[in-house]
Amino acid sequence: MSSAAHDTKIRRLHTRKSKKASLPFAPEKVWIDKKVADHPQTIRILNKLKNCDYDVVDNVKKLKRPSDLSAAKKQMVLTYHKGDAFKPCQGIGNEHLCCNYRVIDLISGCPMDCSYCILQSYLYNNPRTTVYVNIEEILSQVATFLSKNSQKFFRIGTGELGDSLALDPIVEFASVMIPFFASKRNAILELKTKSTFVDHLLDLNHRNRTVISWSMNTPEIIESDERDTASLDERLEAAKKVAAAGMGVGFHFDPIIIKKDVGEMDRYIKVIDRIFDELEPKQISWISLGLLRYPKDLPNLATQRFPDTSLFTGEMVPSGNKMRYLRFIREEAYRPLWEHLKSKLPPHKIYLCMETPAVWEKVDPTVKGNSCIEKRLCNTESINFDYQAKPTIF
Amino acid sequence: MLLQYLNVSSLNIADDSYRITFAPELEELKRSVKVAGIIQPINVRHTPEGTYQIVTGYKRVLVMQELERQSIPALIHEPNDLSPTQAFLWSLHDNAVARSLNLIEKSVALTKLNQFYQMSEDELAKQFLPLIGEEPSFKILHQLMSLDSLTEPVKTHVVKSKVALSSASRMSEFTPSTQQALLGVLSHINPSTNKLNELLALLREISARDGLTVEDILSRYQLLQVVVNPTATSADKVSALRQALRGIRLPQLTERQKQLAHLIQGLELPTQAKVVADPYFENKNMKLECQFSHPEELDSVIKKIQAAFEKQKWQEIFEWYRT
């Protein structure tokens, strides 16, 4: 342990990382909203959790907040999502160039425990892992939207407020979503994960409308700061299975961490090489790059839980309501990664996540606006699609 | 319950089972006792071992000791009549209702309720935080309970210098020896809460990045010298310390800012004109601000800016800014 690590008190709330991601999440307690107690999805989920303690409550919003996030992560809430569970990604409308991604909220919270996870801040007051069982209603919102916007093509994901597959051995939402998107002509589903729970999906009829993506990081960061997630090798092994089943595979290098200097990008280049050792470029739908950024209160929350973490030591400066690396550091960090990726994958399959036009200009000057990234990524997938009529976006 | 004059020496002052008071101000009470004596009896608990535990009236006992008085009126409670939990709640209510508790006293109350009287965090947040004048929030509860890890001198500093909860809680994250080293710096300055939090965050981040203890950082960069200057004001010392720490924490940004300042200086702008750029170099737009009070002055300012422009100095800035 470094002297700096000695400098802060070790108030460990967690034991060192154990690779539990190959085991399904087993909540200690399940709270069931009375309104969904008889919902078929609730019953199906409870059948998967036979030995789990559960309670039906009148109003899940009135549940006492567990005293800390680690305790909250061991509890699950089954409820319904009222309102709009299908919305634009938070990157849209900011100062960034954005790929016009849309998100579906089916789960909020995550049993995994990454030091940099923004949910520590976003879900501070509501930290239990919450599952919205009214998936059919939510998908019906999606169907209506897609049908009203039939001339546009959409990339839609579920991994904004939680891992798309970490709970899937229990909730099995992916088995509902993949056939749903298989029947849609103008959208593709992306399931983002750090888990390996893909075996139950391999035989589903996906019609090339599903991409399963993995968040990628260096083995060192995975080991030190991505608790209860699959290792790099395990993620690549799962990706190979998905690719062999004919589904698209994506990778998101996000967050890319710079602790001291951009020389650390060499470690990410090795991870890129690992990907291409295991997969053919044609099997990869897209790869994104995103440097660490976070809400201003996150380091304080995270370092209380993980005193040993050194993730927040790069040169971060305020940018809107977030902190991010200095622009010229970001440019310098992206450049070798972009160039290396470009040597392996067509540039239209590579994008920066939530980056400013100024940084894009340095990395790929051909990208001039949101629609440009959107079109490139949609075209990536459209090549494989068997359309009756091509959407106008192409 | 029995009202009796007890010998002050028979009270077990070292037994702090029900004590909340920290760093009490005794002068006013002392003056009052000198004039009127003890008006309100203290409450003590007679233990099975035969000692007297102070339940309420710790400050009165201290004053009586200082004044070398022999006896004090006390309501004596037998163990069966007053449980330890009840005794602690009396002490807490007696203090919390009569005055504002300082941060350390709040921390002591909550920590004891949790550790010795098995109150859950939920009970503490919902029932006891409002009693001691705080919002019923887990964040506040955790911050207050973290102060238990402060060293005694730092606890005293927190009370005497009225350090905010957020800052005190951050200080509690450091080891005792680091807290002591920090105290060596903080005793020379009086920063605002925001500034103090920033200074603590900078130290912590440098420590995590460079694998140095805070003591190493203070010594390597001679930061104590920055704050001991007897001729500088506290605000100047805080500013100098902040600047030094930011230079260490954000070396590339600091270097860029220096370069930009140098380039802007090279424009030789009139004193009425100023170039304002994004301090973090995110936004490439720059702003030129001019002040003037009559047309001739505006004319002169424009001419000087034009002269700088013709010397290609502006171009130099734009080119540098975009690299």
- Please check the confidence at residue A199 and state whether its pLDDT lies above 90: yes
Query: Residue B205: its chain A contacts at CB < 8 A?
Result: 299, 312-313
Render pLDDT for A200-237 as a digit per residue (tens, 0 to 9): 999 999 999 999 999 999 999 999 999 999 999 999 99
CATH of the domain at A364: 3.80.30.30
* ipTM (interface pTM): 0.78
Check pLDDT > 60 for residue A21: no
DSSP for B128-155 reads IHHHTT--S-HHHHHHHHHGGGS-HHHH
DSSP conformation letters of A157-202: ES-SSS-SSTTHHHH--HHHHHHHHHT-SSEEEEEEESS-TTGGGT
**Structure confidence at residue B266 (pLDDT):** 86
The answer to whether residue A87 sits within a structural domain is yes
Q: Is residue A67 part of a domain?
A: no
Residue A336 has pLDDT above 70, yes or no: yes
**What integer pLDDT is reported at residue B159 of this predicted model?**
97
Confidence check: pLDDT of A63 > 90: no
Query: What's the pLDDT tens digit per position in B83-110?
Result: 999 999 999 999 999 899 999 999 999 9
Q: For residue B187, give every residue at least 6 positions away whose Cβ sits within 8 Å of its Cβ, in sequence order, or none.
A: B157
Cβ-contact B3, B74 below 8 angstroms: yes
pLDDT tops 60 at residue B189? yes
SS3 label, residue B76: strand
The fraction of chain B above a pLDDT of 90, given in percent, is: 79
The chain-wide mean pLDDT, for chain B, equals: 92
A327 in contact with B at a CB cutoff of 8 Å? yes
Distance CA A107, CA B113 (A): 37
Kindly state the average pLDDT of the residues A298-312: 89
Rounded to an integer, the average pLDDT of A51-61 is 90
Residue B2 contacts A where some CB pair is shorter than 8 Å? no
Check CB contact of A326 with chain B, cutoff 8 Å.
yes
Q: Do B175 and A307 touch (CB under 8 A)?
A: no
Interface of A with B in 110-139 (CB under 8 A): 124
Concatenating the DSSP letter of every residue in B17-45 gives TT----S---HHHHHHHHHH---S-EEEE
Is the CB of residue A285 less than 8 Å from the CB of residue A347? no
Measured between beta carbons, which residues in chain A are less than 8 angstroms from residue B252?
Answer: 315, 326, 328-329
Residues of A in contact with B122 (CB under 8 A): 64, 67
In a domain, A278, yes or no: yes
Q: Which residue has the higher pLDDT, A130 or A388?
A: A130
* Helices assigned H by DSSP within chain A: 3-7, 40-48, 69-72, 119-122, 135-148, 168-171, 174-182, 219-225, 232-244, 265-278, 298-305, 327-342, 357-363, 370-382
Report the percentage of chain A scoring pLDDT > 90. Answer: 63
Pick from B179, B200, B209 the residue to mutate for testing the A interface (most A CBs within 10 Å): B209
Establish if A66 belongs to a structural domain.
no
In the block, residue with structure tokens 């399940």: A30
Boundaries of domain holding A218: 81-110+132-382
SS3 B6: strand
Model confidence at A94, pLDDT cuts 50, 70, 90, reads: low
User: Chain B contact for A205, CB < 8 A?
Assistant: no
A256-299 per-position pLDDT tens digit: 999 988 999 999 999 999 999 999 999 999 999 999 999 998 99
Residues β-bridged to residue A11: none
**For testing contact with chain B, the best of A1, A2, A6, A7 (most B CBs within 10 A):** A7
Q: Which two tokens stand for residue B172?
A: 């509690």
pLDDT beyond 80 at A41 = yes
- Count of domains observed in chain A: 1
pLDDT of residue A1: 39
Q: Specify if A15 maps to a domain.
A: no
Q: For residue A92, what pLDDT is reported?
A: 58
A229-241: b or e for each residue (b if 16 or more CB lie within 10 Å)? Answer: bbbbebbbebbeb
Select the more confidently predicted residue: A287 or A4.
Answer: A287
Answer yes or no: is pLDDT of A383 > 80: no
- Determine which of A337-346, B101-110, B305-314 has the lowest per-residue pLDDT on average: B305-314
Torsion angle of the four alpha carbons A186, A192, A196, A197, in this order, in degrees rounded to the nearest 10: -60
Q: How far apart are CA B66 and CA A340, in angstroms?
A: 77
Backbone conformation region of residue A256, classed left if phi is above 0, alpha if psi is from -120 to 50, else beta: beta
Cα A231 to Cα A223: distance, rounded to the nearest angstrom:
8
Which residue intervals of B211-312 are DSSP H helices?
214-220, 223-228, 234-249, 251-266, 295-310
In chain A, the largest separation of any two C-alpha atoms, in whole Å, equals: 64
| pLDDT score of A317 | 93
Instruction: Tell me the shortest Cα–Cα distance from B266 to chain A, in angstroms.
Output: 23
Confidence at residue B42, expressed as pLDDT on a 0 to 100 scale? 96
Q: Compute the mean pLDDT over every residue in chain A, rounded to the nearest whole number.
A: 86
What's the gap in Å between the CA of B268 and the closest CA on chain A?
Answer: 27
3-state SS track over A134-145 = CHHHHHHHHHHH
pLDDT digits (tens, 9 = 90+) for B136-182: 988 899 999 999 999 999 999 999 999 999 999 999 999 999 999 99
Q: Does B175 touch chain A (CB under 8 A)?
A: yes
Residue A317 burial (10 A CB sphere; 0-12, 13-18, 19+): middle
**Average pLDDT, integer, range B236-244:** 96
More confident site: A89 or B192 = B192
Assess if residue A148 is contained within a domain: yes
Q: Which residues pair with A92 in a beta bridge?
A: none
Q: Nearest Cβ partner of B138 from A4, A67, A328?
A: A67
**Does the pLDDT of residue A16 top 60, yes or no?**
no
Has residue A82 got a pLDDT over 90? no
| Chain A contact present for B180, CB below 8 A | no
Q: Is the peptide bond before A88 cis (omega within 30 degrees of 0)?
A: no
Q: By three-state DSSP, how is residue A319 classified?
A: strand
Contact A303 B252 (CB under 8 A): no
Q: Cα–chain-centroid distance for residue A154?
A: 17
